[in-house]
Amino acid sequence: MGRRREDFKPLLYLGIIGGSISAYELLFYQMSQASGGALGDGLIAMSTLGASIMYAYRILSPWLVSYLRLTPQELKGIAHIHWGWSSCLLMAAIPLPIGVNRLVGLGTGIFLIRYAIFQGRNLPISPSIFGGITIAEMWVYLGLLEVAGMRVYWRETAVGRFWAGPLVPWNGAIACVVAYFLYILPWESWGWSKRPWQQAAYIIPLIILWETRLQTYPITLLLAAGFYIFLAKVGENIRFTYVSVALINWALYRWFDSLRLTDALWYVTPIGLSLLYIAQVDTQLKLPEYKTSRHILRVLGSGLICGWAILFHQHTAWIPGIFSLIAIFAGLALRVRAFLYIGTATFLITTIYQSVIFSLQYSFLKWVVGLLVGILLIYIAANFETRRAQITSLIRSAIDEFQSWE
C-alpha cells in the first residue's frame, strides 16, 4: 500500500521498520532457545543481523528502488540507520562478557568499518557540517573510530595475542610505520580526502605509546620522535617537533631511571632545554611583536636549570659554576640577553655563597679577602671619579648594544 502513492509513503516506512523488527524477533527466538550465551554474544548477534540487513539494502538497491519507489538517497539513509544501530550494539558488547561470538564480532566490525570508510569515497557533493569537516570526511572518521574499537576483538586472535605479547615494547614503532603509510598514501587519487587519514597518522603512535607506556623501550620512543620530525619536515610545521622533544625527554628519563640516576637535576635539565628549543624555533615567537615572550621563555628555561643548580648543588660549587659559564658564553656567542643575565646572576650568587662558606671555615683568610675586596672597591671608586664620562658612555653603549640582542 505504501508504495502506490506518495501520500502513503509513511506506511511504506512502517512496513520497512516492521520487517526489521520481525527479523530481530526471529533472532530473539533463536537466542531464547540457546542456553548459556553471554550478554555480549547476544549484542554481537544483533549487530551482525543489522549489518546483514544494511548490506542487503545496498546490494539489492537497484531492485528495491524500483519496487518500493524510493529514491537512492532514501534507501541509503535506511542503510545508514542500520549501520549506526549495528555499530552501537557492537561497541556496547566490548565491556561485556563474550563467550563464543568474538570472531563473529570481529568479522561484523570489518564489514561495518568497510561500509563507513567507503561511504566517504567519491562523494560528488560533500558539504561541511561542523568545524570544516565534510560529510565524506566524517564517514572516514567514524570508520577509523570503529577500527579503534575493533582492536578489543582482534586482541583475542592468535595474531592479536602475539601483538599484545612479545611485540608490546615495539608497538609504538610499529604504529609509526602504519602511520607513515597512512600519511603518504595517495588517498585523493583513490577518491578519499587525505585529511582524516593524516589526522589519524598524527595521533595513532601517541595512543599506542600511551597504552604501552609501562613496557615501551627508549629506542621505541626515539623512533617515534623521528617519525614526528619527519612530519614536521614534510608538513613544514615545526611544532610537530615539540612532540619529538617530549618523546626524547621521556626516553632520557627511562635511561636515567635504568642507570639509577636519582639526582633531580638530570630530570630538570631536559625540561629547561626543551623550553629553550621552543623559544629558538617557534615561528610565532620569531615575530618582532613576540620578542618579549621569547625572552621570558628563555629566562624560564635557563633559569630553571641554573636556579636548580644554585638551590640544590651549592655543596658542589663546580656544578652551578659550570652551568653559569655555559650560559654566559652562550649569551655572548649567540647575542642572547637572557642567557647572559641568568649566567651572570648564577655566577655571582655562587661566588658570593662560596665566599661566605670559605670565610666561615677559614677565619684568618676572611680578613685577607675582606682587605683585598676593600682595596678593589676603593680602586674602582677612584677610577670612576676620574673617568666618569668614559664609563658612563661605555655603559650607555653597552645598554644600546643589549637592546639589539635577542
The per-residue pLDDT for 394 is: 67
The per-residue pLDDT for 219 is: 96
Measure the CA–CA gap between 341 and 343, rounded to whole angstroms.
6
| Mean of per-residue pLDDT scores for the chain | 86
**Average pLDDT rounded to a whole number, residues 77-103:** 88
Secondary structure of the chain in the HEC alphabet? CCCCCHHHHHHHHHHHHHHHHHHHHHHHHHHHHCCCCCHHHHHHHHHHHHHHHHHHHHHCHHHHHHHHCCCHHHHHHHHHHHHHHHHHHHHHCCCCCCCCCHHHHHHHHHHHHHHHHHHCCCCCCCCEEECCEEHHHHHHHHHHHHHHHHHHHHCCCHHHHHHCCCCHHHHHHHHHHHHHHHHHCCCHHHCCCHHHHHHHHHHHHHHHHHHCCCCCCHHHHHHHHHHHHHHHHHCCCCCHHHHHHHHHHHHHHHHHHHCCCCCHHHHHHHHHHHHHHHHHHCCCCCCHHHHHHHHHHHHHHHHHHHHHHHHHCCCCCHHHHHHHHHHHHHHHHHCCHHHHHHHHHHHHHHHHHHHHHHHHHCHHHHHHHHHHHHHHHHHHHHHHHHCHHHHHHHHHHHHHHHHHCC
pLDDT at 314 > cutoff 80: no
From 161-175, 325-339, 353-367, the region with the lowest mean pLDDT: 353-367
Q: Cα-flanking dihedrals φ and ψ of residue 97, to 5°?
A: -65, 135
Higher model confidence: residue 37 or residue 112?
112
The per-residue pLDDT for 354 is: 81
pTM for the whole structure? 0.84
Percent of the chain with pLDDT over 90: 50
pLDDT at 100 > cutoff 80: no
pLDDT at 7 > cutoff 80: no
From 91-100, 148-157, 320-329, 333-342, the region with the lowest mean pLDDT: 148-157
- β-sheet bridge partners, residue 134: 128
pLDDT at 133 > cutoff 80: yes
**Average pLDDT rounded to a whole number, residues 218-245:** 95
The per-residue pLDDT for 144 is: 94
Measure the CA–CA gap between 219 and 403, rounded to whole angstroms.
43
Q: How close are the terminal C-alpha atoms of the chain, in Å? A: 81
Percent of the chain with pLDDT over 70: 85
**205: CB partners within 8 A, 6+ apart:** 172, 175, 176, 179, 224, 227, 228
What are 357's three cell numbers?
A: 662558606
**Average pLDDT rounded to a whole number, residues 289-318:** 90
From 9-18, 262-271, 300-309, the region with the lowest mean pLDDT: 9-18
pLDDT at 404 > cutoff 70: no
Q: Could you report the per-residue pLDDT of 151-174, keeping only the tens digit for each?
A: 777 776 655 666 667 788 999 999
The per-residue pLDDT for 362 is: 65
What are 245's three cell numbers?
A: 622533544
Q: Could you report the per-residue pLDDT of 336-351, keeping only the tens digit for each?
A: 889 989 999 999 998 8
Measure the CA–CA gap between 185 and 180, rounded to whole angstroms.
9
Confidence band (pLDDT; 50, 70, 90) for 12? confident
The per-residue pLDDT for 242 is: 96
Confidence band (pLDDT; 50, 70, 90) for 36? low
The per-residue pLDDT for 70 is: 81
The per-residue pLDDT for 313 is: 85
Higher model confidence: residue 28 or residue 381?
28
Higher model confidence: residue 181 or residue 397?
181
**Average pLDDT rounded to a whole number, residues 113-120:** 93
Confidence band (pLDDT; 50, 70, 90) for 28? confident
